[in-house]
Amino acid sequence: MERLKIIGKTISSKNRLFSVGEISAETMIDPLNVQIVLDRLYREGLVQRFRLVSESASPLRGRPKKNVAYQVRNKKEFKERIAPRLKEDTAQDRVWQVIRCLRNFTRGDLIRIADVSVEIAVWFTKMLHRAGFVALSKRQGQGVHWRLIRDPGPRRPYLGHVIKKGQPANLSEICSGDLSSQHHKIHPGQFLKAAC
């Protein structure tokens, strides 16, 4: 599973054709394992396979070497396949559904309507806030209202990155289906400009 995740992450960043050797060199995984993963993805219809015909003269003896290149067929489906599979029908799922329906809410609403404990409501809203899905009406105190500002869909967003690192994660990594975050990418040049 870990192998698929590492190779999948490398592949999803590629826009052009890639070979087994290329992926192997980048991920430091031996070519045989890369070949196994790519074959599996090919069977699932997520990557395309091309046979490259080399123009150089074929060797005089032995079986001619196959030059195979791969390409991702559909980036969105591919990202969904690689994205971590979350448990279904959990308390967090209930809270997420209530948040999507209400849009503006308090933690009390979540506890009451989603039938969850205070701890789950507090933890989940905090993590969603860190990941940039919800915003607060005011910083602290009574009567704080929360607002859903980014809706990636009915599937609860993966918040593992936020929990581990404790900092806002890249949204395109959190929710595979959300492409809107691509517009907010920061160009390295922006920092240079600011520094000048």
Q: Segment contacting other proteins (CB under 8 A): 57-65, 130-138, 147-155, 166-174?
A: 147-155
In the numeric block, the tokens 């404990």 are attached to: 117
Q: Is 110 exposed, middle or buried (0-12, 13-18, 19+ CB in 10 A)?
A: buried
CB of 103 to other proteins, least distance (A): 10
Nearer to other proteins, 23 or 114 (CB): 114
Q: Is 177 in the site for other proteins (CB under 8 A)?
A: yes
Residue 195, both tokens = 């520094």
Given 4, 69, 86, 113, the residue binding other proteins (CB under 8 A): 113
Q: Is 153 in the site for other proteins (CB under 8 A)?
A: yes
Nearer to other proteins, 14 or 100 (CB): 100
Nearer to other proteins, 22 or 109 (CB): 109
Q: How far apart are CA 54 and CA 66, in angstroms?
A: 9
- Residue ranges with strand state E in the chain: 47-52, 67-72, 104-105, 134-136, 146-148
Distances in Å between the Cα of 130 and the Cα atoms of 35, 71, 117, 124, 190 are 38, 35, 20, 10, 23
Q: Where do contacts with other proteins occur on this chain (CB under 8 A)?
A: 76, 89, 94-95, 97-98, 101-102, 108, 111-115, 118, 153-155, 177
